Each structure stands twice: as structure tokens, then as C-alpha cells.
């Protein structure tokens, strides 16, 4: 959910297009997303955004593959790291969001097997610098 302090800081011109005041489950005033006129049901926000992201990322990964326990553990770690990277890059609050250089230093990027390189022979070193191979 978008943090209330961010919605409060926005101009009413923009805020009122997407949000309106509502009452939460505790009887407190809060911001809720406006429903587009052509949408019949309410927008239900995830209570666990990371779990929602994980279910989308891993959809279809349970297709039958040859069973290799070590490959399965590596694959699971790779998915965990990827989900963490995407989740942190998509944080609503810019103070919490990963900066580009932080993203380049994220384990999903850095822990690539040294034999793997980006197209064109470039790679990212441990300091997040792009190097030519």
C-alpha cells in the first residue's frame, strides 16, 4: 500500500484522481484507491506484497524438470535473490528504494558465476562498476 505520508504530500490535483478518504478496519480515516468507473469490484491490495510478487515470478516454475537437488537449491536461491531485488527496486518510498548503484551491488547481480558475462563481454565487479571483458 502507498504510505499515507506520501499521499498526504501530493497535490490534491493528483491525489484526488487516484485516492479518496475511507475508513480502515480500526475505524480510522485512511486513503484508499479510487475504483475506475468501469471497474465493478473494489481494488484489493495485497497484505503481503513480497508473497504476491513471488507467486507471479514463480508461476510456471513447477513444470516437470529432471530432478537435481543441487540445481533445485541454486534455482530457489536465484529466485529468492531476484524477488528481493525487484521488491526493493519497486518500493513506493524513494528513501527506501534501491539506488542504481545499490542495485548493481545486489547479490542477484554480484553473485553471478564469474564465467557468465553480459552481452558484449561486460560484467559488473563487486563495487558495482561495469567492466569490459
- Alpha-carbon Rg for the chain in angstroms: 20
CA distance 72 to 65: 10
Distance of CA 85 to the CA centre of its chain: 7
Angle in degrees, 0-180, between the axes of helices 69-89 and 49-57, rounded to the nearest 10: 130
| Residue 53, all three cell numbers | 510478487
Write out pLDDT tens, residues 35-76.
777 777 766 777 788 888 888 888 876 665 666 666 667 778
pTM: 0.60
Percentage with pLDDT > 90 across the chain: 18
Amino acid at each position: 500500500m502507498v504510505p499515507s505520508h506520501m499521499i498526504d504530500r501530493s497535490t490534491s490535483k493528483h491525489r484526488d484522481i487516484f485516492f479518496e478518504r475511507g475508513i480502515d478496519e480500526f475505524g480510522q480515516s485512511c486513503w484508499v484507491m479510487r475504483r475506475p468507473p468501469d471497474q465493478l469490484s473494489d481494488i484489493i491490495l495485497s497484505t503481503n506484497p513480497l508473497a504476491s510478487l513471488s507467486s507471479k515470478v514463480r508461476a510456471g516454475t513447477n513444470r516437470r524438470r529432471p530432478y537435481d537437488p543441487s540445481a533445485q537449491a541454486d534455482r530457489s536461491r536465484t529466485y529468492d535473490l531476484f524477488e528481493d531485488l525487484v521488491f526493493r527496486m519497486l518500493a513506493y518510498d524513494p528513501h527506501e528504494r534501491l539506488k542504481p548503484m545499490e542495485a548493481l551491488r545486489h547479490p542477484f547481480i554480484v553473485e553471478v558465476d564469474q564465467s557468465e558475462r553480459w552481452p558484449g563481454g561486460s560484467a559488473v565487479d563487486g563495487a558495482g562498476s561495469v567492466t569490459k571483458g
